[in-house]
């Protein structure tokens, strides 16, 4: 398990799946904002890649996020679009509604940076988030990510186009204790 100051990132357990389905993926508005694609229901027991980890998938590493104090499941985190040639990847995370506003997001981003830069030897990490996702923007910037651009009206979310913000962080810019 990878540990931050407040959270741990561990392998997905079978018992995590129904909680993540109910708390994150069955929330139409929230899931639509996070997914970057149209929401659709997930059949219980399905092998949907958003829930069930494929250990053979080289370009995508998924974690369950737990509280270090108590061990409760608080969300999901991942590196996706891992490009071994260019040594880059994208960061994604989703916190259960009850776990938001507690500083977990900043700690998850810091822990994913450690995983990406130290464990995987990546050169660049990138985050794309909706321009009104202030919590993710704060979490990224507290960890040293720099706003690199805005993709105007690039995300169709629940009946309207929204801007996406692209943030990047290079290994040489990363300071391991910044997110704490």
Phi, psi of 122 (to 5 degrees): -75, 160
SS3 2: strand
List, for residues 6-18, the tens digit of each pLDDT value.
Answer: 999 999 999 999 9
What topology is assigned to 2-173 in CATH? Aminopeptidase (3.40.630)
Reported pTM: 0.92
Does 114 score more than 90 pLDDT?
yes
**Cα dihedral value 111, 114, 117, 120, nearest 10:** -90
CB 18 within 8 A of CB 52: no
For 50-83, what is each residue's pLDDT tens digit?
777 877 788 999 999 999 999 999 999 999 999 9
Contact between 34 and 95 (Cβ < 8 Å): no
Instruction: Measure Cα distances from 170 to 21, 117, 121, 127 in Å.
Output: 33, 9, 11, 12
d(C-alpha 57, C-alpha 72), whole Å = 26
Give tens-digit pLDDT for 21-32.
989 888 888 888
Domain ranges for the chain: 2-173
Q: How confident is the model at residue 35 (pLDDT cuts 50, 70, 90)?
A: confident
């Amino acid at each position: 398990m990878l540990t931050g100051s407040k959270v741990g990132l561990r392998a997905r357990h079978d018992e995590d799946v129904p909680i993540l389905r109910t708390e994150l993926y069955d929330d139409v508005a929230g899931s639509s904002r996070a997914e970057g694609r149209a929401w659709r229901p997930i059949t219980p027991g399905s092998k949907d890649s958003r829930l069930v980890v494929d250990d053979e998938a080289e370009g995508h590493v998924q974690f369950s996020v737990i509280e270090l104090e108590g061990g409760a499941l608080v969300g999901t985190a991942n590196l996706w679009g891992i490009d071994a040639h260019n040594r880059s990847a994208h960061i994604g995370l989703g916190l259960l509604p009850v776990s938001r506003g507690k500083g977990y997001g900043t700690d998850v981003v810091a822990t994913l940076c450690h995983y990406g830069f130290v464990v995987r030897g990546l050169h660049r990490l990138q985050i794309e988030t909706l321009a009104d996702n202030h919590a993710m923007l704060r979490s990224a910037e507290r960890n040293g990510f720099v706003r690199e651009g805005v993709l105007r009206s690039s995300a169709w979310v629940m009946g309207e186009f929204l801007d996406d913000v692209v943030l990047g962080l290079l290994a040489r810019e990363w300071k391991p204790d910044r997110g704490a």
